[in-house]
Amino acid sequence: MIFKKHRPPAGAIPGTLAISEIAQPTRIHIMQFNDASLIEQEVTVSDVPKFLSDKTITWIDVHGLKDESVLRQLADQFSIHPLALEDVVHTPQRPKTETYDNHLFVITRMIFMNGAPTASTEQLSVFIGQNYVLSFQGHSTGTLNPVRDRIQTGKGSIRKAGADYVGYAILDTVIDKYYPVLEQYGEQLESTERQTIENPTNKTLQQIYRIKRELLDVRRSVWPQRDVMSSLIREETPFISRSVKVYLRDCYDHIIQLMDVVDTYREMSSNLMDIYLTTLSNKTNEVMKVLTIMASIFIPLTFIVGIYGMNFEYMPELTWKWGYPAVWAVMLTVAGLLLHNFKHRGWLVRDSKPPKSGPSTRSTQRGLPPKSQ
C-alpha cells in the first residue's frame, strides 16, 4: 500500500508519536572526530551532550525508533521541532529537506537487497548542524558502513571537513547503494527475458509482474530525491557550504542517471509482458496448426471410409478380391499427397528457436558504471 505508514489517530495533537509495535530498541552510536583524533562508542541519551564540541565533528547515529522517551530527549537536546520528530518516527515519509534555526533536516530513502531478489527501502532522517550530524534509521541495514569506515581510516578529507561534508557523504552513500540494486534488477530482467522467449510459464509471468511492481517502488523512492538534492544545491543555508554544494551537484547527476535507468527497466518489463503474451499466442497458433493439419488429413480418409461403411447390398467394390488393399492404397496416397502439399507450403516446418539473449540487456550497458565506495 502506498500510504501504509505509522501515524497517530485522526485529530491527534501535532507532534504525537505513534510508535510501531515492531520497532527495534533504540541504540545510539557516536563518532566524535577531527583530523587528529577519533572517539567511537555506544552511549546513552544522557551522555550525548558530552560529545558535542566546537573543536570536533560529532556524528550521532540512532538505530531503532522504539523508545519514545529517548527520542524526545534527543529532540530536546538538539532543539528538534515536534513536527520534524513526528516525520522521523512516522515512516515512510516522502524525501524532503527543511531548514530550521539550528539545523538542516533531510529525509531520504535507503535501499538494500538483504540477499533476496526483492529490494527493501528504509527511511533515513538526517539533521545537519554546525558541528554535528544526527541520523535516525529504523533498522541497522549497514548502508552507512562505508561512511563509518572512511571516518575510522581517515580516508579522503572527511575528518578534515565540516559537518556538512559528513552529511554529504551520508547522502552520497545512500544514492550509491542504488547502483548494485539496479544491477541485480538488470540481471533479473535478462534472465526473465530469456525465459520469456524460450519457455514462458505462469511463473515467468509472476516474475515479470514482481519486477515491474518493485521497479515502481524504486522509482517512487528515487524520484523525489532529485528535488531534495536540487533544493540543497539552490537554497542558501548556513549549514551547507559552497564547497560542499559542488559535491552535491555530483549526487544530483547520479540521481538523474538512476532515474533514467529505472525508467528504462520499467519499459523493459512492460515489453517483456508483451513478449510473454505474443509468445503464448505463437505457441497456441502452433498447436492449432498441428490440429488443423491432422484434421485436414483425416477428413478425406473419413469420407472414403464412410462411403464403404454404408450398408448397401450392391457395392461392387465389396466383392473385389483386392478391394480392401485398394482402399488402403487410396487412403495412404491421399494422406501422402496432403502431407507433400503441406510440406511444400512450409506448414510442417517448425519455427526455429530464437537466439539466446546476449549481454545487450546487462546493466553495465544500461548506464550503470561501476561504483566505488
Inform me whether the pLDDT recorded for 357 exceeds 70.
no
Domain layout of the chain by residue ranges: 1-176
pLDDT of residue 262: 95
Widest distance between CA atoms in the chain: 121
DSSP state of 157: T
Contact 261, 222 (CB under 8 A): no
pLDDT in tens, 201-250: 889 889 999 999 999 999 999 999 999 999 999 999 999 999 999 999 99
Is CATH 3.30.460.20 the right assignment for the domain spanning 1-176?
yes
Which range, 11-25, 254-268, 292-306, has the best average confidence (pLDDT)?
A: 254-268
Q: In what order do the strands lie in the sheet containing 57-63?
A: 38-43, 27-33, 57-63, 132-137, 120-128, 104-112, 96-99
Q: Cα separations (Å) of 233 from 29, 164, 239?
A: 29, 12, 12
Q: Is residue 96 a contact partner of residue 228, using CB atoms and an 8 Å limit?
A: yes
Q: Which of 97-106, 209-218, 223-232, 337-346 has the lowest mean pLDDT?
A: 337-346
Question: How far apart (Å, rounded) are the C-alpha atoms in residues 214 and 209?
Answer: 9
- Contact status, residue 126 vs residue 106, Cβ threshold 8 Å: yes
257: closest CA among 110, 168, 177, 369? Answer: 369
Report whether pLDDT(89) > 70: yes
Phi-psi map region of 142: left, alpha, beta (phi>0 left; psi -120 to 50 alpha): left
The backbone region for 15, taken as left when phi is positive above 0, alpha when psi lies in -120 to 50, beta otherwise, is left
pLDDT (tens digit per residue) in 121-150:
999 999 999 999 999 999 888 899 999 999
